[in-house]
Each structure stands twice: as structure tokens, then as C-alpha cells.
Structure 1
Amino acid sequence: MSEDLRARLRAGDRDAFAELYEQHARAVHLHAHRLTGDWSAAEEVMADTFLDAWRHRARLEPEGGAVLPWLLGMATNKARNARRGTGRRLAFLSRRPAPEPVPDFAEETAGRLDDARTLDAVREVYGRLRRAEREVLALCVWSGLDYAEAAQALGVPVGTVRSRLSRARARLRRLVEERLVEERLADESEGRAEGRGEPSPGRGEVRRGDAFAALTLTDFQEGTSR
């Protein structure tokens, strides 16, 4: 089916392109959001990705299995450009008067995980990862590509994907654990300032660091896709 879809796309079959969009638009959109951190930018990245997919359909290899790695590879490049553009806009806006504050509704999505603080910490530190680390996590962990597919999307050897993913996972875990410790110390300090003690975890209670270690792939997908 995948090779047939490839052949139809390369031949300019519009129905095949519509099928491609229906199958993978959501995955491309979510991938773009994980890399840009902005839903509006993700919409633009997704639109540009499918536009380029149609324009450059002849470049799609006639054989090669799933088409999603090809799409996510283009989306990754588009997201890089979007982040650079965002950086330039932020630099410009930093020289302008600050706008009126608007309500932040991000906390409403945190309740989808049992440990909302862990999810918040993941969100906060994710942007501190190196670009290559964010990209390989987005492809392998959240988009579910295997090493070979991620290598295809990034245009790097499979071994590079393996090493990047290992480093990215280790660094993300370390940053999250450090963030959770900072929050715990801040809570204890606030509690002492208010004259109340910080209760120690009870028997059988899951500590925040353990909760992070227990997060599943489904948890990450649900938590970052809302």
C-alpha cells in the first residue's frame, strides 16, 4: 500500500495526495508544535510541509516503505526556519513596549497526567535541550519513528540517531529531575516562611522523580498533543 501510494504521489495523483494529508496531517502538525512550541507556527509549518510535498513529489523515492519520515523530515527543516524567524521577531518585540498581559490557559492541559508537576517540568526544560536533541526526541519518542526512519527524516546515519537519542533522553531526565528538586525546595522554603512544615512522602506515595521515570510513551503523546 505504501509503495502504491508513493507511485501515485510521484505521478501527481491528487486523490493520493488527499489520502496522504488525511493520514499524516495530525502527525505533522503535532511534530511541528513539539519543535516550535507554538500552535500558530505549527500550522504554518504543516501547510508549508504539504505544499512542498506536492511541489517536490518527484523527489520521493519510488520505494522505501512509509511516507511519514519523508514528511517529518521536511517539517523538521521548516520548524528550524520557523524558530529562527521567531527569534528575530522576539528580538524586535523586546525593543517595543510590553503588551497588556493575557490569561495563560496552559495549566488546563496539565491535568491529563497523574503527575502534573512532572509534565510541567518536561515542558519547561524541553526548550533547553539542543536542537538536535529536541528533533530526535520528537521523531523517535513522540512521533514513533524507528531509528532508520528517523535517520531518513534527519538525513543522518542510524548510529547518529541512536547516540543523539540516548544523550537526549539522559539530558531530559537530568533537567527534569533538577527542575523538580528546585520546585520542592521552593515549596519547602515557602512552607517555612508561612510557618508550616513540608510533609514527607507517606508510605507507598510516589515521589516526583519516580513519577517521571514511570511516564510512558502514551503519557508523553497525550500530554504534548493537547
Structure 2
Amino acid sequence: MRHRVRAGDPAAFGELFDVGARRVYNHAYRLLGDWSAAEDTVSLTFLEAWRGRNRVQPEGGPLVPWLLGIATNVARNLARARRRHAAALDRLPQPRDEPDFADEVADKIDVLNSARAAQQALSALRRPEREVFALCVYAELDYVATAEALDIPVGTVRSRLSRARARLRDVAVPPVAAHEEAW
């Protein structure tokens, strides 16, 4: 597979997409907390993978860690662009407040509340810890694959994951308390 991808074989990229697209999407969603941004990340990840196919090492294991490493970088860039866009919008005059019934309905959906609470807990982590946590826990990569995806030593993966878990224990809010606060 690595040789075929490296050679630019479209069928190999189709197989790689079939194997990795869902994992890239889930990883991006967990990093960004936005379905649309996760879809953009999938598209941009495979575009970058195509462009960087000659950097694939001929020998090695599965290509999913390579894709997740690309996705992590793409997600960083998209998050940076979102922050810049938000900062630009903050500089504009604020429109008058109008009641939005969609917000009222969305706040009452339990699934969205749970996702929001999880995303909030993850946002309390520093970016490097959040990325390692997402790859190890959500993408289910082992330490070696995570280290390869982020281009860092395995020991760094272990220490970041340990700090992330400790911090999440500190900021975690029991679901019952979170539900009561919403009402």
C-alpha cells in the first residue's frame, strides 16, 4: 500500500480513504468540536496526503497514523483561522439581540449538552495534551503510533497523556450537576 500511495495510484488513495476517512473525521471533530470543520479537515487531509505522497516512507506499518498526523496539522490551521475570523467579527459593531428559538431548543437536547461538556473539558487542556489525548483515547492509537503521528518521542506522548488525564479528572463535572445547571 505504501508503495502504491507513494507512486500516486488513485486506487490506493481510494482504499486509503475508505480505511482512514472515518477515523480522520472523528479525530478532527474531537479536536475542533464542529462537524463542518471536521468535514473540511477530512477533505484537506486527503488533499495534503496526495500532495505529500512522496514523503511516505516505503517501509512501515499502516498509513492511518500518517493521515492522523496530517489531520492534526490541518485542524490546527483551521482552528487558527477560526480564531482569527472570530477576532475580526468581535471588532465589528454588535447587532441588536434578537431572541433565537433555535438556541433554546438546542440547549434542551441531552446529546448536545453531553458533547458540549466533553468539548469544554477538553478545551481546558493545552493543545499538545489535547492532541495526544485525542489520538490515544479517541483514535485508539498506541503510544508509538501517536508519537509517529505527532513527530514526538514516545516518552513525551506518555507524559502528555498522563497530564491530560490528571487535568480532565480535575475539571470533570458530574453529568447530573451539569444537567441541573442548565435548568
TM range (shorter): 0.7 to 0.9
Task: State the TM-score, normalized to the length of structure 1.
Answer: 0.70
Q: Please name the residue that 2:86 is paired with.
A: 90
SS at match of 1:103: helix
Q: Please name the residue that 2:17 is paired with.
A: 21
Q: CA deviation at 1:182?
A: 6.7
C-alpha distance in structure 2 between counterparts of 1:140 and 1:159, whole Å? 13
Q: CA deviation at 1:180?
A: 6.2
C-alpha distance in structure 2 between counterparts of 1:110 and 1:166, whole Å? 28
Trace 1:1-226 onto structure 2 (pairs within 5 A): 5-96=1-92, 97-98=94-95, 101=100, 103-104=102-103, 105=106, 108=109, 110=111, 120-177=116-173, 183=178
C-alpha distance in structure 2 between counterparts of 1:43 and 1:186, whole Å? 32
Q: CA deviation at 1:183?
A: 4.6
Residue 19 of structure 2 aligns with an amino acid whose one-letter code is Q
Unaligned runs of 5+ in 2: none
Unaligned runs of 5+ in 1: 191-226
Farther-moved stretch of structure 1 (86-95 vs 136-145)? 86-95
Q: CA deviation at 1:55?
A: 1.3
Q: 1:166 to 1:110 in 2, by over 3 A?
A: same
Q: CA deviation at 1:56?
A: 1.2
Quick one: percent identity of the two aligned structures?
51
Larger helix proportion of the pair: 2
Residue 37 of structure 1 aligns with an amino acid whose one-letter code is G
Q: CA deviation at 1:124?
A: 2.2
Q: CA deviation at 1:123?
A: 2.7
Q: CA RMSD in A?
A: 2.6
C-alpha distance in structure 2 between counterparts of 1:173 and 1:21, whole Å? 35
Q: Higher relative contact order at CA 8 Å, sep ≥6: structure 1 or structure 2?
A: 2
C-alpha distance in structure 2 between counterparts of 1:69 and 1:136, whole Å? 12
Residue 21 of structure 1 aligns with an amino acid whose one-letter code is F
Residue 93 of structure 1 aligns with an amino acid whose one-letter code is L
Q: CA deviation at 1:164?
A: 0.3
- Give yes or no for contact 1:122–1:172 (8 Å, CA) kept in 2: no
Deviations 1:169-190, CA, capped at 9 Å, x for gaps: 110111014x769759969xx9
- Report how many residues are paired: 178
Q: 1:102 to 1:10 in 2, by over 3 A?
A: farther
- Give yes or no for contact 2:30–2:119 (8 Å, CA) kept in 1: no
**Deviant stretches of 4+, over 3 Å:** 98-102, 104-109, 179-187
